[in-house]
């Protein structure tokens, strides 16, 4: 079964600086998808960025980018020019295709604090 | 555009009472639907998913059940709540089939069992 590991329960960053959140996963599949979700204090889950495993190019969305290392099964999220509104729980997720339904496997999350 | 609704937003129920949480999706047809539970300070645990009306798959055996009476309606139920059922319940939908179809989440229901 696929597993997703986020080894950093908490991280902090100064406003305007850059922070990287780590994520590793375990799978025997060759085709899959990876996501980063953000959960602010409101607890609404918001998609931040996604990566298709067959694409070598790292995904970027404005200040958010990923470092996808398929051989190492690593999928880290970099937040540049951190803002106070970036403070949230961040979850890494793996999309498994099984039995005709797509399932997301989540890591346990990293709590990001942004200091002014 | 697609929207997903959940209600109620918060709920306080005594142990042994029944439960019904509702989720509806607008703006799409034949979505895949999911129920997750998030305990305090922890990640998301998939409880049920559905690929169509009347088609429910359970991930974790427990005293909860799910039903999908209509294409865009997903209901989470229990006949008798346990203290351990407390948590934050999230409903999500996605487009079915192959492709990077991410899941979109509702606002959630905070359930406290007393």
The percent of chain B in helix, strand and coil, each rounded to the nearest 5, is 5, 55, 40
Q: With beta carbons under 8 A apart, name residues in chain A contacting B52.
A: none
Predicted pLDDT of residue B90:
96
Predicted pLDDT of residue B75:
97
Tokens at A2, concatenated: 């696929």
Give tens-digit pLDDT for B35-91.
Answer: 999 987 678 888 998 988 989 988 876 789 999 999 999 999 999 999 999 999 999
Burial class for B22, CB neighbours closer than 10 Å (0-12, 13-18, 19+): middle
Kindly write down the DSSP assignment for every residue of B8-21, as one continuous string: -SEEEE-TT--EEE
The whole-number average pLDDT for the span A38-48 is 93
Alpha-carbon distance B15 to A33, whole Å?
40
| Cβ-Cβ contacts under 8 Å for B23 (sequence gap 6 or more) | B4, B5, B6, B33, B35, B73, B74, B75, B76, B91, B106
Predicted pLDDT of residue A63:
97
Q: With beta carbons under 8 A apart, name residues in chain A contacting B90.
A: 45
Give tens-digit pLDDT for A58-103.
Answer: 999 999 999 999 999 999 999 999 999 999 999 999 987 655 556 7
- Average pLDDT, rounded, for chain A: 92
Tell which A residues from 57 to 96 touch B, by Cβ distance under 8 Å.
Answer: 91, 95
Compute the CA torsion angle A58, A70, A74, B33 (nearest 10 deg). 80
**B43/A107 touch (CB, cutoff 8 Å), yes or no:** yes
Predicted pLDDT of residue B97:
64
Q: Which of A91, A99, A102 minimises the CB distance to B101?
A: A102
Banded pLDDT at B98 (limits 50, 70, 90): low
Chains A–B, number of C-beta pairs less than 8 Å apart = 52
Q: With beta carbons under 8 A apart, name residues in chain B contacting A33.
A: 100, 102
Predicted pLDDT of residue B102:
85
Nearest to B45 by CA among B85, B101, B100, B102: B85
């Amino acid at each position: 079964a696929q597993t997703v590991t986020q080894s950093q329960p908490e991280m902090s960053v100064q406003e305007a600086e850059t922070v990287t959140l780590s994520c590793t996963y375990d799978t025997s599949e060759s085709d899959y998808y990876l996501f980063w979700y953000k959960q602010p204090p409101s607890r609404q889950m918001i998609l931040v960025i996604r990566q298709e495993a067959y694409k070598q190019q790292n995904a970027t969305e404005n200040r958010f980018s990923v470092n996808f290392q398929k051989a190492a099964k690593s999928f880290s999220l970099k937040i540049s020019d951190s803002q106070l509104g970036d403070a949230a729980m961040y979850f890494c997720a793996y999309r498994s295709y099984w039995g005709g339904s797509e399932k997301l496997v989540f890591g346990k999350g990293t709590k990001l604090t942004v200091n002014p | 555009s697609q929207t997903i609704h959940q209600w109620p937003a918060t709920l306080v129920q005594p142990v042994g009472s029944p439960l019904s949480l509702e989720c509806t999706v607008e703006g799409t047809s034949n979505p895949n639907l999911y129920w997750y539970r998030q305990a305090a300070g922890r990640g998301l645990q998939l409880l049920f998913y559905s690929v169509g009306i009347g088609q429910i798959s359970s991930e974790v055996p427990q005293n909860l059940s799910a039903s999908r009476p209509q294409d865009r309606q997903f209901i989470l139920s229990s006949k008798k709540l346990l203290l351990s059922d407390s948590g934050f319940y999230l409903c999500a939908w996605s487009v079915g089939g192959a492709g990077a179809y991410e899941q979109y989440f509702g606002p959630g229901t905070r359930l406290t069992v007393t």
